[in-house]
C-alpha cells in the first residue's frame, strides 16, 4: 500500500524537475525540487512506496531523464496515468521506474488515498475497487524487474 | 498496399522490403547528437555500461549551446567533461559556440534526407524538415547507442497533414504548426509520425519547414516529416535526390491513422497562451478577451490589462524554432526605421553563427539594433531560461520559441505567449499584444 499524489493532465518535465536544477551534479541533490512549481512540499511529504497518479500525457516536454530519476530517487513506487509522453515512458522503463497505463484511476482517486499495485496481475486496488492496467510487454517487464536498462545489460552479459 | 514516409525510411535503414506501423525493429543509427546539459550524464552511463570505445566517433556530434556562454558557476564543468570525453574517445565533431544543436545538425551537413538520427534533446524532431527520421531520447539510451550503434524503435502510425493554398500576408509556418497543435492537443500525436504534404508546404522554404518539424514534439509526435525536394537537396548540399530519396513520400494508398486537411487561406496569426502549448487562440481573440477584463488589473495566466489588451514587458525572437535568417528578416521588415516601445526589452538571438553573419552582412541586425533590440550570441539563450532575460511574477513575454511551460523563463507566474516572429515584432513595437 502507498499514498496517492494526484496531478492533472499534461504534466510536463519542467514541472517534474525544473531546468535550473538539471545542472546539479547528482539526482540526489535535485530530488528535493521535484514538482516544486505544483506542490512545493511534495519532496518532503512523499514516502518510499507512494504513487504518482496523473491524467493523460504525463511527462510531456523535454527529454530529461532526470524527470523519472528524481521520482525514483524519492522512492515513488510507480507512476499511473491513462497515457505518457514517449520519451518519459522510455526513460522511466530504462531507469527502472514503472510507468503504468491505467484508465479510470485518475478520476477515482484523490491525493492521500491509499492504493496498491499488482504489476504481475496488472491491477490497482483502491479499497474494494480494482482497476485493470496495461501489462508491460515481456521484454520491458524484464528490464524493469532487473532494475533498469544497465542492470539488464549486465544480466545479458 | 503503399507505405507511409516513415515506413519507407525505416525499411531502407534495415534493408527490408517493407515495414509496417507497429513493427518493432532495431535501426542502424546514422548520426547522434549530444548537447552540453547531458554530456556528463551520457559519459557516466557510457562508462558504467563498460564500453571501451564509441561505435563510430565520426557519427557522433557534441554541441555546446544551452550553457554558452556560461551563466552559472557550474556550467563550465559540463564543457570540461565534454572536451575530455571527446579527447578520450576520438569525437571530432564538436561545436563549442557555433549555434543551437538543432540548427547545426542540418546546417553543418550532419543529417541528410533518409537518415536515422537520435539526440539527447526532445527537439531532435527538427531534422524531419529534410526528410530524416530523428527523435529525442534519454542519456541512458544515448550511452547504449554510443556503444552499439543501434536502437530498437516501434514503427509509428502516421497522421497525414495536408495543407493546400497560399498563406495570408503576415501568417507564417509558426502560425500553421501552432494551429495544428491546438487542433491535435498536447497528446494528440503521441508515439505517432506527422507527415506534412500539400502545395502550401511544397512552397515553403526548408527554414519554414524546420519550424514545423521542431514543434511536432509539442503534440507528442515521435517525428514530423517533410518529403525531400529540390530545395532540400540544395540546402543539404546534394547535387540531386537519388533514386531512394525520390521515393520518400507517403503513398496515397498507405494506412494513415488520421488525415487532417487544411486550407492555407484559413490560417490567421495565433498565439499559444500561458501556460500550455496547446492553448492556441487567434491573436484577435486574445485581444478581445483582454478588452473584456478590468483595465489596470493583473489577471493570472494573462498579465496586466492595459489599453484594452495585454501589456508586453519583453519579446524574444530566436531559438531552434524561429531563429533563422528568414525569421530575423521578417522581424526586421516590421521594425525597419521604427522604435520599439520604450519599456520593452527585445532580445534577438540568431540560431547559429552562420545565420548571425548572414544577418550582419545583409543589414538585418542593424535594422533590429536600430529599433532597440539587444542582439545576443547564437545559442539556446532565453528559451531554456538559463541566460539573459529571466522574467519575474506577472510579467509578459511574447516569444518565438517552442515552449511556454510554467516556470520555463523565470518564476512560475511569468506569462509566456508563443507566436511567430512577425507577431512578436509587432508586439515589441506596440508594447502590448496587437494583431497588425
Give the CATH number of the domain where residue B298 resides. 3.30.499.10
* B153 and B105 co-located in one domain: yes
* B157 and B234 co-located in one domain: yes
pLDDT for the residue numbered A157: 55
With respect to residue B436, please indicate whether it lies within any of the assigned structural domains.
no
* B205 and B311 co-located in one domain: no
Digits of tens for pLDDT over chain B (436 positions)?
899 999 999 999 999 999 999 998 999 999 999 999 999 999 999 999 999 999 999 999 999 999 999 998 889 999 999 999 999 999 999 999 999 999 999 999 999 999 999 999 999 999 999 999 999 999 999 999 999 999 999 999 999 999 999 999 999 999 999 999 999 999 999 999 999 999 999 999 999 999 999 999 999 999 999 999 999 999 999 999 999 999 999 999 999 999 999 999 999 999 999 999 999 999 999 999 999 999 999 999 999 999 999 999 999 999 999 999 999 999 999 999 999 999 999 999 999 999 999 999 999 999 999 999 999 999 999 998 888 899 999 999 999 999 999 888 998 899 999 999 999 999 999 999 999 8
The total domain count for chain B is: 2
pLDDT for the residue numbered A146: 85
Secondary structure (DSSP) of B89-123: HT--EEESSSB-HHHHHHHTTS--TT-EEEESSGG
SS3 sequence, B274-327? CCCCCCEEEHHHHHHHHHCCCCCCEECCCEEEECCEEECCEEEEEHHHHCCHHH
What H or E segment, with its residue span, contains residue A45?
Answer: helix A42-45
Q: Would the pTM of this model clear 0.90, i.e. be above it?
A: yes
Of the candidates B247, B265, B283, which is a domain's last residue? B265
Residue A126, strand partner residues: A129
User: Please, how many CA atoms are within 13 Å of residue B99, restricted to the half-sphere of its CB?
Assistant: 22
* B252 and B336 co-located in one domain: no
Of the candidates B205, B234, B265, which is a domain's last residue? B265
CA angle A142, A146, A151 (to 5 degrees): 120
pLDDT in tens, A32-86: 999 999 999 999 999 999 999 999 999 999 999 999 999 999 999 999 999 999 9
A155 has pLDDT over 70: no
* B319 and B203 co-located in one domain: no
pLDDT in tens, B169-185: 999 999 999 999 999 99
| Fold designation for A2-156 | Aconitase; domain 4 (3.20.19)
* Least confident piece of the model among A75-89, A100-114, A140-154: A140-154
* B108 and B163 co-located in one domain: yes
* B211 and B226 co-located in one domain: yes
With respect to residue B435, please indicate whether it lies within any of the assigned structural domains.
no
What H or E segment, with its residue span, contains residue A131?
Answer: strand A129-132
With respect to residue B140, please indicate whether it lies within any of the assigned structural domains.
yes
* B222 and B111 co-located in one domain: yes
- Say which of B72, B74, B276 has its CB closest to residue A10: B276
**Interacting residues of B169 by C-beta distance below 8 A, sequence separation 6+:** none
**Which backbone phi and psi does B237 adopt, to 5 degrees?**
70, 30
pLDDT for the residue numbered B103: 98
User: How many angstroms separate the CA of residue A62 from the nearest CA in chain B?
Assistant: 5
A156: confidence class by pLDDT, cuts 50, 70, 90: low
With respect to residue B115, please indicate whether it lies within any of the assigned structural domains.
yes
Give me the residue spans of the domains in chain A.
2-156
pLDDT in tens, B244-257: 999 999 999 999 99
**Range A143-149 contact pairs with CB under 8 angstroms and sequence separation of 24 or more:** A143/A93, A143/A94, A143/A96, A144/A93, A144/A96, A144/A98, A144/A119, A146/A96, A147/A96, A148/A93, A148/A94, A148/A95, A148/A96, A148/B140, A149/A93, A149/A94, A149/A95, A149/B140, A149/B141, A149/B144
Helix, strand, or coil here: B272? Answer: strand
Asked whether the beta carbons of A117 and A124 are under 8 A apart, the reply is yes
With respect to residue B280, please indicate whether it lies within any of the assigned structural domains.
yes
A8 has pLDDT over 90: yes
Residue of B nearest to A15 (CA): B406
**Interacting residues of B338 by C-beta distance below 8 A, sequence separation 6+:** B371, B429
- Give chain A's contact residues with B (Cβ, < 8 Å): 9-10, 12, 14-15, 18-20, 22-25, 37, 56-57, 60-65, 83-87, 90-91, 94-95, 148-150, 153, 157
User: Please, how many CA atoms are within 13 Å of residue A18, restricted to the half-sphere of its CB?
Assistant: 20
Dist CA B430 CA B169 (whole Å): 19
Instruction: Kindly state the cell numbers that stand for B22.
Output: 507497429
Report CA B167 to chain centroid distance, whole Å. Answer: 21
Of the candidates B265, B292, B326, which is a domain's last residue? B265
With respect to residue B393, please indicate whether it lies within any of the assigned structural domains.
yes
- Say which of B135, B139, B186 has its CB closest to residue A65: B139
Domain that holds residue B414: 270-430
* B254 and B294 co-located in one domain: no
Between chain A and chain B, the number of residue pairs with CB atoms below 8 A apart is 106
Asked whether the beta carbons of B224 and B213 are under 8 A apart, the reply is yes
pLDDT for the residue numbered A79: 98
Amino acid at each position: 500500500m502507498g499514498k496517492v499524489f494526484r496531478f492533472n493532465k499534461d504534466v510536463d518535465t519542467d514541472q517534474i524537475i525544473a531546468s535550473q536544477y538539471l545542472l546539479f551534479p547528482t539526482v540526489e541533490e535535485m530530488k528535493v525540487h521535484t514538482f516544486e512549481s505544483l506542490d512545493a512540499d511534495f519532496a518532503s511529504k512523499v514516502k518510499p512506496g507512494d504513487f504518482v497518479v496523473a491524467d493523460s500525457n504525463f511527462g510531456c516536454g523535454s527529454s530529461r531523464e532526470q524527470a523519472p530519476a528524481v521520482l525514483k530517487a524519492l522512492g515513488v513506487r510507480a507512476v499511473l496515468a491513462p497515457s505518457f509522453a514517449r520519451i518519459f515512458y522510455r526513460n522511466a522503463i530504462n531507469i527502472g521506474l514503472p510507468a503504468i497505463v491505467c484508465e479510470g484511476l485518475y478520476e477515482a482517486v484523490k491525493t492521500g488515498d491509499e492504493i496498491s499495485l499488482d504489476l504481475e496481475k496488472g491491477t490497482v486496488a483502491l479499497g474494494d475497487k480494482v482497476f485493470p492496467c496495461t501489462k508491460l510487454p515481456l521484454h520491458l517487464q524484464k528490464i524493469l524487474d532487473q532494475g533498469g536498462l544497465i542492470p539488464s545489460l549486465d544480466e545479458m552479459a | 498496399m503503399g507505405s507511409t514516409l516513415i515506413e519507407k525510411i525505416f525499411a531502407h535503414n534495415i534493408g527490408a522490403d517493407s515495414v509496417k506501423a507497429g513493427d518493432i525493429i532495431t535501426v542502424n543509427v546514422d548520426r547522434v547528437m549530444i548537447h552540453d546539459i547531458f554530456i556528463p550524464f551520457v559519459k557516466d552511463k557510457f562508462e558504467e555500461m563498460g564500453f571501451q570505445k564509441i561505435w563510430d566517433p565520426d557519427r557522433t556530434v557534441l554541441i555546446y549551446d544551452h550553457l554558452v556562454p556560461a551563466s552559472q558557476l557550474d556550467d563550465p564543468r559540463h564543457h570540461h567533461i565534454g572536451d575530455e570525453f571527446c579527447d578520450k574517445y576520438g569525437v571530432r565533431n564538436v561545436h563549442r559556440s557555433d549555434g543551437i544543436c538543432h540548427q547545426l545538425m542540418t546546417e553543418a551537413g550532419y543529417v541528410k534526407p533518409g537518415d536515422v538520427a537520435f539526440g539527447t534533446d526532445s527537439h531532435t524532431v527538427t531534422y524531419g524538415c529534410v526528410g530524416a527520421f530523428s527523435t529525442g531520447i534519454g542519456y541512458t539510451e544515448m550511452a547504449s547507442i554510443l556503444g552499439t550503434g543501434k536502437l530498437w524503435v516501434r514503427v509509428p502510425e502516421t497522421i497525414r497533414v495536408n495543407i493546400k493554398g497560399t498563406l495570408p500576408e503576415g501568417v507564417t509556418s509558426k502560425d500553421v504548426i501552432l494551429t495544428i497543435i491546438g487542433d491535435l492537443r498536447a497528446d494528440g500525436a503521441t508515439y505517432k509520425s506527422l507527415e506534412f504534404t500539400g502545395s502550401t508546404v511544397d512552397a515553403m522554404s526548408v527554414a519554414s519547414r524546420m519550424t514545423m518539424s521542431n514543434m511536432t514534439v509539442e503534440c507528442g509526435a515521435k517525428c514530423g516529416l517533410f518529403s525531400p525536394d529540390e530545395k532540400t537537396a540544395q540546402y543539404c548540399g546534394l547535387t540531386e535526390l537519388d533514386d531512394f530519396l525520390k521515393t520518400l513520400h507517403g503513398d496515397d494508398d498507405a494506412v494513415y491513422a488520421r488525415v487532417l486537411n487544411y486550407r492555407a487561406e484559413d490560417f490567421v496569426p495565433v498565439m499559444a497562451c500561458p501556460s500550455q502549448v496547446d492553448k492556441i487562440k487567434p491573436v484577435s481573440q486574445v485581444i478581445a478577451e483582454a478588452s473584456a477584463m478590468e483595465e489596470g488589473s493583473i489577471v493570472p495566466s494573462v498579465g496586466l490589462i492595459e489599453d484594452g489588451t495585454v501589456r508586453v514587458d519583453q519579446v524574444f525572437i530566436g531559438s531552434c524554432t524561429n531563429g533563422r535568417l528568414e525569421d530575423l528578416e521578417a522581424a526586421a521588415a516590421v521594425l525597419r526605421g521604427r522604435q520599439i516601445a520604450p519599456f520593452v526589452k527585445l532580445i534577438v538571438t540568431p540560431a547559429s553563427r552562420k545565420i548571425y553573419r548572414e544577418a550582419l552582412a545583409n543589414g538585418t541586425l542593424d535594422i533590429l539594433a536600430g529599433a532597440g533590440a539587444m542582439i545576443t550570441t547564437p545559442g539556446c539563450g532565453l528559451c531554456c531560461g538559463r541566460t539573459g532575460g529571466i522574467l519575474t511574477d506577472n510579467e509578459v513575454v511574447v516569444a518565438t520559441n517552442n515552449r511556454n511551460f510554467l516556470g520555463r523563463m523565470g518564476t512560475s507566474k511569468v506569462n509566456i505567449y508563443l507566436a511567430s516572429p512577425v507577431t512578436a515584432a509587432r508586439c515589441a513595437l506596440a508594447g502590448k499584444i496587437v494583431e497588425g
